């Protein structure tokens, strides 16, 4: 009889000792699960922020490339337009000055026709500078509008 009580007492004592230990182990598992879940959430947030940052950087890079292309096109237009204006005005002014050979003696046109080699490049240079100035204004306007659109 005494042995049965002893077994029961040992079982009771073991249950009393092991129950808190099991409860602590269960609580530790719950805490570890909560930490893993929290870390996964933080990782997702970091990944989402990294994706957003990569998208913003890609858009900014694309905008800069477009802006550089527009500026490059305007600069090319400036160079070619300036050259075309220079030679076009020189040829036209030379032709005009060549056509006034019949100008009355002593008139301004008669005087200019004698200096057509000097006068036509001057007109051409003025046209060249006007075209270059217009292209510079276009580039400046493009940069300003791009800066304000952000």
Query: What are the residue boundaries of the structural domains of the chain, listed by start?
Result: 2-149
In the chain the first and final C-alpha atoms are separated, in Å, by 91
Distances from the Cα of 58 to the Cαs of 14, 53, 91, 127, in angstroms? 65, 9, 49, 41
- pTM of this prediction exceeds 0.85: no
| Helix extents (H) in 2-115 | 2-99, 108-114
Q: What is the mean pLDDT of residues 106-130?
A: 67
Token pair of 69 as six digits: 């292309």
Place of tokens 């007492």: 9
Per the prediction, the chain carries an average pLDDT of 77
Distances from the Cα of 9 to the Cαs of 4, 5, 21, 59, in angstroms? 9, 6, 18, 75
Token pair of 42 as six digits: 């933080």
- Give the dihedral of Cα atoms 143, 144, 147, 148; nearest 10 deg: -150
Residue 37 has pLDDT above 80, yes or no: yes
pLDDT of residue 142: 73
Q: Compare 95 and 22 and report the one with higher pLDDT.
A: 22
pLDDT of residue 84: 77
Spell out the residues 6+ positions from residue 125 whose beta carbon is closer than 8 angstroms to its own: 86
pLDDT of residue 1: 46
């Amino acid at each position: 009889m005494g042995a049965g009580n002893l077994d029961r007492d040992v079982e009771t004592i073991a249950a009393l000792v092991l129950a808190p230990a099991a409860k602590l182990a269960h609580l530790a598992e719950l805490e570890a699960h909560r930490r893993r879940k929290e870390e996964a959430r933080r990782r997702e947030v970091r990944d989402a922020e990294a994706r957003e940052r990569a998208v913003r950087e890609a858009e900014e890079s694309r905008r800069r490339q477009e802006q550089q292309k527009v500026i490059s096109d305007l600069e090319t237009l400036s160079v070619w337009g300036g050259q075309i204006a220079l030679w076009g005005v020189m040829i036209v002014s030379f032709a005009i000055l060549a056509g006034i050979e019949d100008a009355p003696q002593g008139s301004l046109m008669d005087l200019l026709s004698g200096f057509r080699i000097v006068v036509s490049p001057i007109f051409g240079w003025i046209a060249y500078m006007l075209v270059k100035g217009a292209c510079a204004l276009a580039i400046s306007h493009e940069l300003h509008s791009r800066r304000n659109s952000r």
